[in-house]
Every structure is written in C-alpha cells, then in structure tokens.
Amino acid sequence: MSADVGRRSTRPDNLGTDQITDTVLSQIRAADPRTGQLAKSLVTHIHDFIRENGVTWDEWMTGLDFLARVGQWTSESRNEAILMSDTSGSSTLVDALNNVGPANMTPTTVEGPFHSVAPPRQMGDIIATPEQWARGEWTLMHGRVLDTDGVPLSGATVDIWQADQTGLYDVQDAHMQPGDLRALLTTDEDGRYWFRTVKPCSYPVPTDGPGGEWLRTTGRQPMRPAHIHVRVEAPGHRTLVTHLFVAEDPYLDIDAAFGVREGLVLDFPLVEDGRSIADQDMPGAYFDVEFDLVLVAEDWTS
C-alpha cells in the first residue's frame, strides 16, 4: 500500500490558513490520550494566536529567540522557565486549578525558581549565618503541622528557604554557602516546628536575563513582597508548597509572581520583654511569628 494513502496533503499550495491547523491536528497520534489532548490544544491555541494577531515573520523569530534564551539561562541553581511561568501568572493559574481543598487548608502558592536541597536542622536552630544574624532583624518562626481535622502530624518534613537582607538566595550570592537560610525540619510528636531566622525583605526577581527583558518590555515592575518559602510533606497528605508574607510589605498588591494569597499574610509582632528574650535565647527584641500549616489528605474529595 502506498505511504500516501489515507493522508492529507501537506503541500503548502493545498493548505489555507485555516486548513493548516486541521492538517497538523490530524497528524497528532500520541499513544497517551492525555498527551494527545494537550498537544492538540497547544497547537490550536498557538495557531489562533498567530491568526488573531497577524504575527509577522520578524515577530515570530523574535519570540523563538526569546524562548531559546530562556533555556540557555536555565541552570541547576536558576530556572528561567519557572521565572517566566511565575511572572506571566501561569504558575499561579496551574496552582489554583490543582489545589482545591477544604476551607481551612493552608493556601498554596508558587514554589519559585530557587528551591534546592536544604540541610537538616534541629528545632530552634538559627538558619542564618553569623553575619546575617548580626545585622538582621531577629525572628522566631513557629507553629504546628496539622491535618484539616486539627490532628497534629508528627514526623512531617518542613522545608524552609528564604533570601537574605539584600534580597539574594544562597545560589545567587558568591559570599553565601549552599544551605544558608535554608532548613529541613522534622516535626515533633505534637506536630510542632520552630526555628530562628532574620526577617525577610522584599526583593526584585532576577532581571539580568530573558525574564527581566519580559518585565521591562511589558512595563512591569520586578519586585516580590518579603516572604519565607515553606514546603511540607507528610505521609498520606498532599505536599504543601506555600509562602509566609510580611503584612506591612508595600509590594503585597503588585507581586511580580502573583503569589500572594489571603491567609498567608502574617503580622510580625515585636517582643521586647526581657523574660521572653531570655527564654527564646535571643540577643534582644525579636519578632515572634506563629503559623500553623494545615495539610489536606491525599484522598480528599469535595
């Protein structure tokens, strides 16, 4: 049998602007049905975008060059593709669609481009370097990991990471060591976690690569409000990826990564009494922030 039997001609002189899409879709035969569905939907939306905007060849090549550079800028310590996903709101949309749960669950949000393996720490450890601790605003973070019925989850893994007072993560700053301002904690029998750190500050997302070019070209600001990243894992429960934001931060309403959620914006009350300072082994007045992390069961249904 001829190889051409049953195939639609793909010669350019046989294809109109509408027929091109149908022809491409007819040739997508993925073995996995979901892969086929996504591939066809992607092609359809790309082709519609080209038609609706009358995209020129120069514009198309500019876009392809941009995507190529996103890949070139991505490394083990920095994911430019995630940065683009975050700053376009795409990460937030995927997160919102895939993390529906009970009203009392801790809201989820984007992971960001700087997650890496954190060093195991003991409860109460200072996760900042001595230099960061000396010049920072001392902060005690503590709370419990619970299920949605309020039952403490002992043995849960709490993964913490944050930027320093200059807005840089350890993977961005040559003066920092891997693991600075990161912690891997295991909750105690009552589901409790606690650690000492420095109060985070707002900072710009990286703007030296394609992600920054995207923000400048579209007239966007690059700032993220001050936050601490948290990722929690416990057997039988969904992994929680979220942020803890500082309430008074000026960028809460214009977060470049669209990550702020109601319920994640926390007050940082200042503690100044000597007894509490001594009890928590703090050098002086400190911020005391309590927040319970509530996980959803893997088999939860609405």
Please indicate, yes or no, whether residues 24 and 137 belong to a single structural domain of this protein: no
Do residue 106 and residue 68 come from a single domain?
no
Q: Domain residues for 187?
A: 90-294
Per-residue pLDDT of the chain (302 residues; tens, 9 = 90+): 445 544 555 565 667 788 999 999 999 999 999 999 999 999 999 999 999 999 999 999 999 999 999 999 999 888 999 999 999 999 999 999 999 999 999 999 999 888 888 999 999 999 999 999 999 999 999 999 999 999 999 999 999 999 998 999 998 988 889 999 999 999 999 999 999 999 999 999 999 999 999 999 999 999 999 999 999 999 999 999 999 999 999 999 999 999 999 999 999 999 999 999 999 999 999 999 999 999 999 999 88
Q: Is residue 222 included in any domain, yes or no?
A: yes
Q: Clarify whether residues 29 and 97 are in a common domain.
A: no
Whether 50 and 194 map to the same domain: the answer is: no
d(CA 159, CA 147): 17
- Annotate 172-209 with b (16+ C-beta within 10 A) or e (fewer): beeebeebbbbbbbebbeebbbbbbbbbbbbbebbeeb
Statement to judge: residues 163 and 192 lie in one domain = yes
pLDDT at residue number 175: 86
**8 Å CB contact between 282 and 261:** no
Domain match, 57 and 97 both: no
Q: What is the pLDDT of residue 78?
A: 86
Residues 68 and 95 occupy one common structural domain = no
Residue 229, CA distances (Å) to 59, 66, 97, 177, 226 in order: 37, 29, 20, 18, 10
181 in the same domain as 44: no
Residues 182 and 258 occupy one common structural domain: yes
Q: Does 202 share its domain with 227?
A: yes
Question: 256 and 120 in one domain?
Answer: yes
- Say if residue 68 is in the same domain as residue 199: no
In the chain, how many domains are there? Answer: 2
pLDDT at 5: 45
Question: Which CATH number goes with the domain that contains 203?
Answer: 2.60.130.10
